[in-house]
Each structure stands twice: as C-alpha cells, then as structure tokens.
Amino acid sequence: MTTTTTKTRTRFAPSPTGFIHLGNIRSALYPWAFARSTGGDFILRIEDTDLERSTQAAVDVILEGMAWLGLDHDEGPFYQMQRMDRYKEVLAQMQQQGLVYPCYMSVEELDALREKQMAAKQKPRYDGTWRPEPGKTLPPVPEGVKPVLRFRNPQGGVVAWDDKVKGRVEVSNEELDDLVIARPDGTPTYNFCVVVDDIDMAITHVIRGDDHVNNTPRQINIFRALGKEPPVYAHLPTVLNEQGEKMSKRHGAKPVTQYRDDGFLPDAMVNYLARLGWSHGDDEIFSRAQFIEWFNLDHLGRSAAQFDETKLRWVNAQHLKAMADDALAPLVAEQLSKRGIVADERLAAICGLFKDRCDTTVALANWAAAYYTDVTPSEEDRAQHISDAVRPAIASLAVKLSAVAWDKPAIASAIKEVLSEHGLKMPALAMPVRVLVMGTPQTPSLDAVLANFSREKIIERLKRA
C-alpha cells in the first residue's frame, strides 16, 4: 500500500435559512477542529440556492456566531449562487459525455407513475422512460416542453462507504433512481452543487449532520461519474433538545449568538459543544488547545446527543473560574455597558472576588453592578438583618472607616475593633453591612468586598442603616 500525504481540507456548508442553533454550529466545530488538529484548511461555503428561504441576515448570524466562537476559516465564504456558471459548465460537460440525459416527463405523468407504484406497493421512483439505452426507442419529444436533466445512475451493484461515525454503509443502486440534477430552467439541484463544490474545493473529509446520509450514495455516484473518488464521510448524530426532540427553532432552540449575549464564554461553548458527540476519555473540562490536540474522527459518538443547559452552565462556570481576572474584565465590562454602566480599573479585582460564585458573565455583571450603580436592599433583608441593636455598631464602623488607611487589612481591623467594642460576633455586623452595601447578605469576605469601593461610597451606604 502506498501512502500519499494530502493536506486535510474540511468544510462547513450551512444553508442560511434563518436560524443557527447549537446543533448547527456543532457541524462547524468538528470540521474546524479536524482541520486545525491536522494542520489542514477549513473552508466556509454558504449553500444559498434556496432563494426563497436564504437571507443575508442568516449569513450574518452564521459569520457572527463562528467569529464569536473563534471558528476561523481559511477560505471562503464561498456562495453557491455565485458559482452558477461553474455548475452549468460541469452540466454541459456531463451532457456531452452522456452522463446526464433530458427527461420530458410532465408533473402529471410523474404523479400518475407514483400512484401506480404505490398502489402496487412499490417504492415510488422514476422509471427511466427517457433514459437512452442502445437499441431503445425514446418517446417522441413533446413540443414546447423544457426538460429536466437526469443523472444516469449506475445500474446494479452497491454504493458503499466507511463512515467515520456509522461504520460501513451500503446502498444498492437499485434503490437510487436517476436524480434530477438540473431543473427545466437550467438551474442545478442541491446534490449536484455539493459534489461540484466538494471537488473544486478539494475537500478530503465531509463532516456533517446525519440528515445527509441519504444523499451520500447519490453524491458518491456523481463523484465517480466525474472521475473523482469521494471524500471521507463522517455523519454526526442529531443534537436533541432537553425534551428529546430534534433541536429546532420551533422546539425552542436559541440562536447561537444568544449564548454570547447571555454571558457564556466562547471557550466554554467550544468545550461543551465538543462533548456533544465526541469524547476524550472522561475529560469534561478542557481548553481550546487541548481540544484541538485531542480531536480526531475515531471517537465520535454514535447516538444522538442531548443538550443540557444545566451542564452547559456548569462547564461555563468552570471556565469562568479558571479565567484570569484581567481577561474576564473586558467581557464583564461589555455586559455592564449594555446596562449603561461604564466600568473602571477596579473591575478585574471585582471579577476575581465574585467569579467563584457565578456561572455566566451576566451573573458576574450583576455583582459588579453594585460597585457602579446604587443598590436598594429589599425590605425583607433590611427587616431581618438591620435591627436597632446593631445600628450603633454600624454607625461606629462608619466613623472608624472614615479615618483608616483604605485597604483590606486596615478595613479588617476596623471591623474587628467595632465587634469587640460592641460585644458582637462577626455575622451580626457583617450581614447588615452586606445588605446595606451590596443589597444582599450573601457575599465574599466583607473586608475584600468593601476595599473595592471608595471610602465615600461605603460611608454613604452605611448611613442608610
């Protein structure tokens, strides 16, 4: 056996028909990761031939979602609508070689044929009426009818491939009728365009959703008719939603960019999506670099993966915790700016203080907001924690804090002094102070929380006791 080293070339080929959910973007993640892990190229191709359903807005969401997740492409985006001349050129060449033939069967005739076959309990299929064969007389060409072009599918034998997910798949050619590959107006059809593109773009591995398994034997036959060997295929199982239904907008899926707006981290999303159909031992949390290092087509899952928001939040929380405060701060600043809050240099320290208790940058921004806008404790928290008994201690804390050096150790000793002067235990003072300063009694250690405020702000809030 000889081995030739070809550069890996993968592609993501979405149809921009409205909505890109997590299941769709996983179909971008795997070919991207495979290209990156093998030093190959990743190509983006927009399959926009469905003119009625394709929109530029959907293309923008695809580009935006991929950019957010860092799924960079090396070539493209190529738009199928801009490649019509090329498809027509290949069609003409195929017609010349007798690989396709015109079929004049009308819609009514096709319907009648289907009904007859169904009545005889046969699978509906084109019967080859217009397929030229040596010694066969074709029906007279009807006047004024524009034909479709049909592909001369091989007769007999099987089409087989070793799918990286499904294993060996074999389909008998008897199952496949002669596919229409050009409409009466000359426009090429879907399966044909995919093959021409995969050939022209020198795709070596097609990694896509398993809703395309049925197209694959047809596409392989077209590849071979064009004198090319098909690429390696990996058909990924569907991603189901939490209810076990196929993920879709109708079933409540969110567009991928929504997760960005909801405070998820790109690396956490990549980590989570990676595990939806692929595994590396028991590893649940990994970096982008580890994913690229580990990814291959030999550990793809065979059964449908189910989306689980709780797990996604957990994965996000792990990444958030592990992220450097300086790197986190700009992401939280972005969330704050959506609320009209301009953050400052304190934000990194604030992130460091609260990140352990957050699962998204939105949750982190909720904490950080207390540093930049006023807080209003609930009446319930006030009633529960701020009693007449503790008010004098809060007042003396305000007095002490107005005179100490403004740093964590000095604040800590001021608190201690007040506790001993008033004969209180830490929670008796800390809870009401937290309610006044942060609007909630549950926060990280009080001295650290206070130190990131200005002295004036703390005294102002303590005076509201």
Q: Which residue in 277, 275, 284 sits closest to 317, CA to CA?
A: 284
Residue 157 burial class via C-beta count within 10 angstroms: exposed 0-12, middle 13-18, buried 19 and up:
exposed
Q: Which residue in 177, 152, 176, 174 sits closest to 101, CA to CA?
A: 152
Q: If you write DSSP's letter for every residue of 326-395 in order, what string do you get?
A: HHHHHHHHHHHHTTT----TTHHHHHHHHGGG-SSHHHHHHHHHHHHS-----HHHHHHH--TTTHHHHH
Shortest distance, CB of residue 78 to ligand GLU, whole angstroms?
Answer: 12
Q: Is 77 helix (H, G, I), strand (E, B) or coil?
A: strand
* Closest residue to ligand GLU: CB criterion: 208
Distance between CA 447 and CA 87 in Å, rounded? 70
366 near 338, Cβ under 8 Å? no
Nearer to ligand GLU, 194 or 323 (CB): 194
48 near 15, Cβ under 8 Å? yes
Which helix or strand (DSSP H or E) is residue 119 part of?
A: helix 107-119
Shortest distance, CB of residue 34 to ligand GLU, whole angstroms?
Answer: 14
Give, to the nearest 10 degrees, the angle between helix 84-96 and helix 190-200: 100
Return residues touching ligand GLU (CB under 6 A). 13-15, 47, 194, 208-209, 212
Nearer to ligand GLU, 43 or 437 (CB): 43
- Cis amide linkage into residue 266, ω under 30° from 0: no
Nearer to ligand GLU, 194 or 329 (CB): 194
Shortest distance, CB of residue 198 to ligand GLU, whole angstroms?
Answer: 8
Shortest distance, CB of residue 208 to ligand GLU, whole angstroms?
Answer: 4
Q: How many residues does the chain have?
A: 465
Shortest distance, CB of residue 144 to ligand GLU, whole angstroms?
Answer: 35
Nearer to ligand GLU, 56 or 106 (CB): 56
Nearer to ligand GLU, 213 or 459 (CB): 213
Amino acid at 325: D
Q: Which residue in 316, 231, 242, 232 sits closest to 273, CA to CA?
A: 316
Nearer to ligand GLU, 162 or 326 (CB): 162
Report DSSP state, residue 162.
E
393 near 418, Cβ under 8 Å? yes
Shortest distance, CB of residue 360 to ligand GLU, whole angstroms?
Answer: 29
Full 3-state SS string of 252-263:
CCCCHHHHHHCC
Nearer to ligand GLU, 47 or 177 (CB): 47
320 near 364, Cβ under 8 Å? yes
371 near 350, Cβ under 8 Å? yes
Shortest distance, CB of residue 449 to ligand GLU, whole angstroms?
Answer: 49
Shortest distance, CB of residue 298 to ligand GLU, whole angstroms?
Answer: 21
Nearer to ligand GLU, 15 or 238 (CB): 15
Shortest distance, CB of residue 12 to ligand GLU, whole angstroms?
Answer: 7
Shortest distance, CB of residue 45 to ligand GLU, whole angstroms?
Answer: 8
Shortest distance, CB of residue 121 to ligand GLU, whole angstroms?
Answer: 32
Please state, as a whole number, how many other Cβ atoms lie within 10 Å of the Cβ of residue 53. Answer: 12
Distance between CA 202 and CA 208 in Å, rounded? 16
Distance between CA 34 and CA 274 in Å, rounded? 12
Nearer to ligand GLU, 194 or 431 (CB): 194
Nearer to ligand GLU, 69 or 401 (CB): 69
Nearer to ligand GLU, 41 or 267 (CB): 41
